Structure 1
Amino acid sequence: MRQSTPGSLTRAIGLMSGTSADGVDVAWLASDGLSIAETGPFESYPFEDGERARILAAMGDAAPGPGAVRAVTEAHARAVEAFLSAHPDLRGRTDVIGFHGQTTFHDPDNRRTVQIGDAEALAEATGIPVVHDFRSADVAAGGQGAPLAPLYHLALAEGLTQPLAVLNLGGVGNVTWIGPQAPPMAFDTGPANALIDDWMAAGSGERFDADGRTAASGRVDRSRLDAWLGHSYFGRKPPKSLDRNGFTASVDGMSLADGAATLAAFTVESVALALVHMPAPPVRWLVTGGGRHNRHIMSGLAQRLGAPVVPVEAVGWNGDALEAQAFAFLAVRSLRGLPLSLPSTTGVPRPMPGGRLVQPPASASERRPSTYLPTSPSTSSSSFS
């Protein structure tokens, strides 16, 4: 592996499976850990139905069984192989893999966070060093362990007009506030896509509300929405973070459209409540994650936030790739001993390095026969939930 010396570049693949658990995102970049020298291809590989079922069943479990761990590992190994098969020039231009794994349990107030996936098996399957376990050092030191993308957002935002907000609408929403001459501030805003996705899956068999069409056709139950917005989480000062299942906003008894409309309004209003915690109102909101494809939510945000709300593509970023790129960037920072989180982003007492490095076997003879390599590449697709 190339040495991570100051000023040199490390080439990294980043892997991410978010709380929506729809698949594995894979992205490549080159960085010195401070800035981004080059971004490369991005692909997204959906979980097989059985894998996704095992992973979703493990959500909320602090000690998931081996079946869920294996499902995560196999899907990630298959995704890396498919990615390198699609982009063969990167086989010799990848120094490290940043492997986030799959979060199944997050309770930082009790210093517990669980991301599953076998990093050693992934290193064996790919033959590439793997940095993993990005969150536990932060949580052990008293931080929230999330969000972890803000330092990547900060690197990307150099030269943009500030203050600005980078809003990620995944399963859970999180925001990074970036202002001039100030450290970035970050926290989870509330539910984003997870509750809507679960409602759509239960009521229609669809994994998400495409373009927000179902929500747009429904009516908001204001009394339920107001009750949810009274939750103590929204008044709590950052840093703060959420488990995927941190809210149990029930829309039982409602029509599919009205339930989707009410849950979408919950996402919008929870983001609007985040404004009170920011040092200054953002002049622009850049939205990433699958939720930026939900036109109904994006329209609601534009009405409520008092500033332009645009997908991150408006400034040349790839919103589908951003989180996977972030873990490639954090893997490089980990190798260099640089902080992955700050007091202003997770509440950790001091800038906190993290991540653990696993090397692949030194020679092929030391490898165990691997069942993680695919027999054929998976079909790539974009992630919209």
Structure 2
Amino acid sequence: MDVIRTAIGLMSGTSMDGIDVALIRTDGRGFIERGPFLGVPYEADFRERLKRALELSRPLTDRRERPAELREIELELTEWHALAVTAFRQRFGLSADAVDVLGFHGQTVLHRPDEGLTIQIGDGPQLARRTGLPVVYDMRANDMVHGGQGAPLVPAYHAALAGKLQQAGEAVCFVNIGGISNLTYIGADGRIAAFDSGPGNALIDQWVEMQTGRTYDPGGEIGGRGKVIPALAARYLESPFFRGNVRRSLDRGDFAPLRPEEASLEDGARTLAHVAAASIVKSAGFLPESPSTYIVCGGGRLNATLMAEFSAMAEGLGSRVLSAEAAGFDGDALEAEAWAYLAVRSLEGLPLTFPSTTGVASPVTGGVLATP
């Protein structure tokens, strides 16, 4: 009989705006019972520290390297996660023995799949000591050791959820629009294909922050007042990333931000929303077949301008677009839930990644267990 565990997943994504905390009960296979969710925003000063971590990581060639300042930021990040777990347990009345494991993503500060290098800062043993709970962390590294791209890891969870949604003969595609967007295709026969699809919120966030000091375009309101600048959109959409049959995972820095003089605030935000939507559609052309339904999660689903662009493009190709909520999920929680699910799979020695998701030679498990 499969063991059902209670797991908390912790996700700090490429937008670097805070920590998503979610609880599920699962056997790491087909049984999933979704629990509460909490978003814990970073303070502005610490968000700037995380941006500094990206700069400090650029010259690194070993994922274990931690120059002094980067190590300080890593410990700060770990403390933020410990406080987030404490706040979550207090908010939802969880006793010390109610949780079996934490799934800890950490913060990606460097991702160079072509060099077999990925660095996520976050001290798993320290988090275990601070929370008194077992922690599974460093879940990407083993995939890369075995020839994979180290991303995306969420498809294993999407595939487990998809069976409840699919009708006979239908293919479903989950679209996670974070800083970088990624796709998980689940065919009617259960076949999985997954890869990063292009820039998501990161370019929009960078543009709005550069122009206004705000960290994002709330609801896509700024972009909704602008118009697409075709030449700027083409510069992104003609990237070599969208050509060729080999999909690769992306780093936040793979697509350069717009320069301040290239557009008005509104036109820049609208153009980048268009790019985010068109990137999904262009990359979906590499899927085994056109999905019947796209299910959109991540922060990008809240950008009405981006969603309108994507819906129009997808419907023109015969597909419908649903937000995660319309499909019965919590679009803010899904990625953190996935990290909880992957932690349980790691404990069970089950694969986290597959040849059709990361390009790894054969299905492999991953993660490192730290105990209090």
Code of the residue aligned with 2:26 in structure 1: it is: S
For residues 1-385 of structure 1, the aligned pairs below 5 Å read 6-59=1-54, 61=57, 62=60, 65-161=70-166, 162-253=170-261, 254-306=263-315, 307-360=319-372
Q: Answer yes or no: is the 8 Å Cα contact 2:223–2:273 preserved in 1.
A: yes
Aligned residue for 1:97, secondary structure, equals strand
Structure 1 residue 90: Cα displacement: 4.7
Q: In the TM superposition, what is the alpha-carbon distance from 1:149 to its structure 2 partner?
A: 0.5
SS class of match (1:314): coil
Q: Which amino acid aligns with 1:22?
A: D
Structure 2 distance, partners of 1:158, 1:79, is 32
The letter for the 1-side match of 2:15 is S
Work out the CA distance in 2 between the residues paired with 1:53 and 1:74.
Answer: 16
3-state SS in 2 of match to 1:315: coil
Compute the TM-score of the two structures, normalised by the length of structure 2.
0.93
Amino acid corresponding to residue 335 of structure 1 in structure 2:
L
- Deviations for 1:167-197, whole angstroms, at most 9, x for unmatched residues? 0000000010110224210000110000110
C-alpha contact 1:185 1:345 (8 A) present in aligned 2: yes
Whether the 8 Å contact between 1:151 and 1:340 is mirrored in structure 2 is: yes
Q: Retained in 2: the 8 A contact 1:239–1:345?
A: no
Structure 2 gap segments, 5+ residues each: none
What is the CA RMSD across the aligned residues, in angstroms?
A: 1.3
Between 286-295 and 26-35, the greater mean CA deviation after superposition: 26-35
Report the 3-state secondary structure (helix = DSSP H, G, I; strand = E; otherwise coil) of the residue aligned with 1:285: strand
Distance 1:198 1:359 in 2: 38
Shift of 1:133: 0.4
Which TM-score applies when normalising by structure 1? 0.90
Distance 1:214 1:251 in 2: 17
Matched-pair contact (CA < 8 Å) for 2:11–2:104: yes
SS at match of 2:227: coil
Q: Tell me the secondary structure at the aligned position of residue 50 of structure 2.
A: helix
Residue identity matched to 1:343: P
**Contact 1:215–1:264 under 8 Å retained in 2:** yes
Q: Name the CA distance, whole Å, in 2 between partners of 1:238 and 1:288.
A: 25
> Given the superposition, is the C-alpha separation of residues 350 and 195 from structure 1 closer, same or farther in structure 2, using an over 3 Å criterion?
same
Provide the aligned length of Structure 1 versus Structure 2: 355
Q: Does the Cα contact within 8 Å between 1:12 and 1:328 map onto a contact in 2?
A: yes
CA shift digits 1:55-113 (9 cap, x unpaired): 12222524561232122111101100111111223532101000000000000110000
1:306-347 CA deviation, whole Å, 9 max, x = no partner?
321111111211110000000000000000000000000000
Q: Is the 8 A contact 2:197 2:284 kept in 1?
A: no
TM superposition shift of 1:249: 4.1
1:209 and 1:262 map into 2 onto residues whose CA distance is 13
User: Residues 195-215 of structure 1, C-alpha deviation per residue, up to 9 Å, x if partnerless?
Assistant: 110111111111110111111
* Maintained 8 Å contact 1:187/1:238: no
| 2:250 partner letter | L
Percent sequence identity is 43
